Structure 1
Amino acid sequence: MRAVRLSVVTAAATAAALAAVTGCTEKSDASGGDDRVVKVTATDSKCEVSKTKFPAGHIQIDVENKGSKVTEVYLLFPDDRIVTERENIGPGTKQKVTAEVKEGDYRIACKPGMKGKGIRQDVTATGSGKVAKRDPRLDAAVASYREYAQEQADETLPKAKVFAQAVKDGDIEAAKKAYADSRIGWERTEPVAESFGDIDPKVDLREDGLEEGQDLEKDWTGWHRLERSLWQDKKLTDRDSELADQLITDLTDWQKRVGKAEITPTSMANGAKELLDEVATGKVTGEEERYSHTDLVDFKANVEGAEKSYELLKPVASENDAALTKELDTQFAALNTLLDKYREDKTSYVFTSYDKVGKADRKELSDAVNALAEPLSKLAAAVVK
């Protein structure tokens, strides 16, 4: 997913007491009546909630943006770990976010302009609700996805070490060659990137993701900082060598966290959907790999990670909504076929440089991602029916 800003995620992921479900249908997913519906009215200066206490279990957050800026709404633990979120809520629009939470304290945050720590309201889930028992097939799906994420982390580290060593050696061409390949495993696990705590902003932050008050040279670390040195600055300094070492330190930390990260069936589904939204609205513009233009490598890896999540959840989802899984099969196949137009062959991860992809072709990619993201937004609901 997009690199989470440093002020949003500040603690390593620990065992969390929830399973988040995000949907956008008009029908309420919450059970038990209005006591389980929290209305959030977001403006440019306020984040008003209809209630600050609700029963534990399934709740629904109904968001209306009455401000003039695009906003984000988060349900957070007190230490700022993300329970669930909905990004890119345009002025005058409404969204629904359904979550399954256990007893405890939380915060609802609105972020007008999608910047800063947001306007926050403390809320509490009381002990009067119960969380439904999970289908054992979904537990198996989580275990398989965690194994998949661990495999990606294990495969990423040696590739990242090749990249980092080239940077430290001052070998610009070798570093450029190793750059995109070193990122594939990370991009495949982005549907659950927020479960890795503060690793995301350390390794995958873009320059414009820095918060006000952060120093560009001191606080910007990770792949994209080195990408700028290689392709824009066209030189490597002692600072770049330090950043290469830091990247390996952070990725080693990530590798260790994967096995302990809180991953749920609904976080798998929702993360895949949010990631594809990000691809369609942000990454497809070329803003992520703005210096190297290796965006299509990221796109393909993102789709593979999202599809892996879907395939593991499909046995349950297909029983609950066969029409949905049929549509998802169709749209995943269509997007993969489109992406394959830009690769050298089906076995390689060498893609056309994104600066050579024209405006019409970029729109075609965006439309295909949107066509997949729409039914994917219903996957989490289908899993928990």
Structure 2
Amino acid sequence: MFKSAFINKPSVLSSAIVSALLLVSVDAMAAGGSAPVSNGVSQVNVTLTGAEGGTCIVDHNSAKAGPVTFTVVNKTATAITEIELLSDNRILGEKENLAPGLPAAKFTLTLDGGKYQIYCPGAKQELINFTVTGKSAAKATGSTAELLKQGTVGYATYVNGVVDAMVVAVNQLKADIDAGDLEKAKAQYAKARPFYERIESDVSGFVLPGFKATDNAGNLDYLIDMRASNLDPKVGWHGFHAIERDLFGHGKITDDTKKLAAELQQNVTKLDSLTKALTYKPEDLANGAADLLEEVQSNKISGEEEAFSHIDLVDFAGNVEGAQQAFEFLKPGLSKIDPDLTQRVETQFANVNKMLDTYRDGKIAGGYKYYTADLKAADAAKLSKAVQALQEPLSKIAEKVATVGGA
């Protein structure tokens, strides 16, 4: 879940690593010519295959400055599960959880002229050169553009408030763990979890000073939210889910649990200070909302996220809330751009929330039924279908808001 949130943050790849990769990078994996433009957005397709151990094929190696949509489909590549767009060692945007056979995923970025790289970790050729020509159009002004700008400012305030609340919740979790109160700690764990789930697509690309972006020891998302299914053996297990293992899996609080809680407290406090400097573009909100729903599909409905506590539906609801907040802050401007699309997204959010309400249980910590094996077997397909119905119209928003004029 190492997302960059498509915003200005210190997610940096080592210059040595990038240079080394560029030495073996060739343009053979990218077709010539500039990407075609549709409705003001350049369209670039990336195909992942299992050929030669993992191949990343880009259909065009350049695009004109302005909004660019990268559409990624994994046909047969088991070694490649994500792609990133890099510029000057910064991660500008990415898609992950790209398992073979899943529907195409996309993200839209507004790019200025310059040299970029498409990075496919795990591919035989990991870096592919990508060029953007010309300059982006002057920043739009006018009522619609101003509404979208106001939305990004309001959303930044929302994110800051969520992270502030997470710090408070984690402080209480640490206090319960330090006191050795297992039942209170379990209940507080369920209260603390949703905060990160609401905003993880915005804050999960931070790399601590002194670390490479490829080193999970300095990746705040890893240190806060890594699951058992995707551990880095060199770094070990940290964060929420290591605490979850102790509280719900082992059923006891140990000295190691207390150390994990102290570390989590430190890391969410660091995250709190870092998020205060974030700024957003309208397409960042749209991309982030889409990412949160992809998290639901890949990790919540599968039951992978909360393997010990089984509060996956709490996380599910957190992801949906975060995605809906991003949409709500865009809605005043989006309603002027495409009122029909706005209504479709609004309707599908209502449908998903109505479905989630059927799983509410106030007697359980977190407020939702446990996502047991039986519940998963019975309802996973229904849950997935409802989320897919929301993902389809939501995926169109980034291009819409990235291409707005001064109307």
Structure 1 residues 169 and 133: alpha-carbon distance in aligned structure 2, compared to 1, 3 A threshold: same
TM-fit CA distance, 1:52: 4.6
| Aligned residue number for residue 129 of structure 1 | 135
| Residue identity opposite 2:117 in structure 1 | R
User: Counterparts of 1:1-385 in structure 2 under 5 Å?
Assistant: 3-4=1-2, 13-14=9-10, 28-29=37-38, 31=40, 38-44=44-50, 45-49=54-58, 52-61=61-70, 63=72, 65=74, 67-69=76-78, 71-85=81-95, 87-88=97-98, 90-91=100-101, 97-111=107-121, 119-126=126-133, 128-134=134-140, 135-194=145-204, 196-197=206-207, 198-211=219-232, 214-215=233-234, 218-344=235-361, 349-355=366-372, 357-385=375-403
- Secondary structure of 1:325's match? helix
- The number of residue pairs the alignment matches comes to 358
Q: TM-score, normalised by structure 2?
A: 0.78
| Aligned residue number for residue 22 of structure 1 | none
CA–CA distance in structure 2, aligned partners of residues 118 and 271 of structure 1: 28
CA–CA distance in structure 2, aligned partners of residues 118 and 164 of structure 1: 44
Q: Is residue 276–residue 369 contact of structure 1 (8 Å, CA) maintained in 2? A: yes
Segment of structure 1 superposing worse, 57-66 or 281-290: 57-66
Q: List gaps (5 residues or longer) in structure 1.
A: 17-26
CA–CA distance in structure 1, aligned partners of residues 274 and 37 of structure 2: 35
| Residue identity opposite 1:76 in structure 2 | L
Q: Is residue 38–residue 50 contact of structure 1 (8 Å, CA) maintained in 2? A: yes
TM-fit CA distance, 1:40: 3.7
Q: TM-score, normalised by structure 1?
A: 0.82
**CA deviation digits over 1:152-185, x for unaligned, max 9?**
1111111111111222333222211110101222
CA–CA distance in structure 1, aligned partners of residues 222 and 169 of structure 2: 20
CA–CA distance in structure 2, aligned partners of residues 203 and 174 of structure 1: 21
Structure 1 residues 63 and 286: alpha-carbon distance in aligned structure 2, compared to 1, 3 A threshold: closer
TM-fit CA distance, 1:12: 8.7
| Aligned residue number for residue 21 of structure 1 | none
Runs of 4+ in 1 over 6 A off after TM superposition: none
The alignment yields a C-alpha RMSD, in angstroms, of 3.2
| Residue identity opposite 1:364 in structure 2 | K
Q: Percent identity?
A: 33
